[in-house]
């Protein structure tokens, strides 16, 4: 009887301690959309459409002094995409995040697993949370904080579509590998970031062989706040090769805002992206 009592006390103590470090959250996000010319203009015999999409996401976070674990799953559905008495869902459950972060010291940590990579205005790396499914990467990330106002992130990812026995073409609409460095420096009322990204894509040369082609993206992001004025400016260039074509592109833009009052603000901005003429072959 004494053994049973001691065992019960041990289990209850463990559960109590564990509960203090576990956070569970649930997100339900239905969204009604009305589309009339979205992405493409409608022909005269086409009508506007409307539908409801929903994100249902469950997230679990566990942490202690050195280790943080996160696991989140989600279901993205359109209301009515399966019959009301269906035995299976159309999209099923997908893993959105599954990662562990270990803090070597207060200034150094690394993360492994499926995770969100989001920087600056999310123009290059972002969670893309306005899309119901969001965006996450299977990657390794090293974070170094040399000083209070500085941060350096080094990231790496290597993708494959199967547990292959030999090299085969990667046919998923995704990058084959990436390597990047992101450095951020904070000033008194402003901040600046620099990004270097190398992205490798598999280009099939036969049914069983591929050639890895790389493109490089480099640029900077600056944001500021002065009294009632705030905004940001950014610029990126892209070079290298993809789908057996040489790349040379750029993107820059910015926005300036002014707080008229505590509830109202005005702003003006713009963005420019280079591209190929639509009539080009």
- Per residue in 212-247, pLDDT (tens digit) is 999 999 999 999 999 999 999 999 999 999 888 899
- Per residue in 19-44, pLDDT (tens digit) is 468 999 999 999 999 999 998 899 99
What pLDDT does 276 receive? Answer: 80
The alpha-carbon radius of gyration of the chain (Å, integer) is 24
Is 4's pLDDT higher than 80? no
Spacing of C-alpha 56 from chain mean position: 18
Summary mean pLDDT of the chain: 91
What pLDDT does 205 receive? Answer: 85
Contact 79, 51 (CB under 8 A): yes
Q: Which of 114-118, 139-143, 183-187, 200-204 has the lowest mean pLDDT?
A: 200-204
The residue that leads in pLDDT, 171 or 7, is: 171
Q: Which of 4-18, 238-252, 253-267 has the lowest mean pLDDT?
A: 4-18
Is 8's pLDDT higher than 80? no
- Per residue in 80-107, pLDDT (tens digit) is 999 999 988 999 999 999 999 999 999 9
């Amino acid at each position: 009887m004494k053994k049973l009592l001691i065992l019960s006390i041990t289990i209850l103590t463990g559960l109590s301690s564990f509960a203090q470090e576990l956070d569970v959250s649930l997100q339900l996000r239905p969204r009604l959309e009305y589309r009339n010319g979205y992405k493409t203009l409608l022909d005269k015999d086409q009508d506007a459409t409307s539908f409801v999409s929903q994100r249902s996401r469950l997230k679990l976070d566990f942490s202690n002094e050195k280790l943080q674990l996160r696991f989140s799953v989600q279901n993205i559905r359109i209301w009515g995409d399966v019959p009301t008495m269906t035995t299976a869902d159309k999209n099923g459950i997908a893993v959105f995040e599954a990662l562990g972060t270990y803090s070597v010291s207060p200034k150094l940590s690394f993360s492994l697993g499926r995770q969100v990579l989001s920087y600056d205005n999310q123009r290059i790396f972002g969670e893309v949370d306005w899309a119901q499914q969001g965006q996450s990467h299977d990657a390794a990330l090293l974070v170094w904080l040399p000083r209070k106002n500085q941060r350096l992130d080094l990231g790496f990812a290597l993708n494959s579509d199967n547990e292959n026995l030999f090299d085969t073409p990667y046919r998923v609409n995704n990058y084959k590998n990436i390597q990047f460095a992101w450095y951020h420096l904070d000033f008194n009322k402003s901040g600046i970031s620099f990004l270097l990204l190398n992205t490798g894509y598999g280009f099939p040369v036969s049914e069983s062989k591929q050639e890895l082609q790389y493109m490089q993206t480099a640029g900077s992001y600056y944001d500021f706040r002065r009294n009632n004025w705030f905004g940001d400016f950014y610029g990126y260039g892209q070079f290298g090769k993809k789908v057996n074509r040489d790349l040379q592109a750029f993107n820059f833009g910015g926005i300036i805002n002014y707080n008229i009052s505590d509830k109202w603000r005005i702003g003006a901005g713009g963005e420019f992206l280079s591209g190929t003429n639509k009539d080009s072959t």
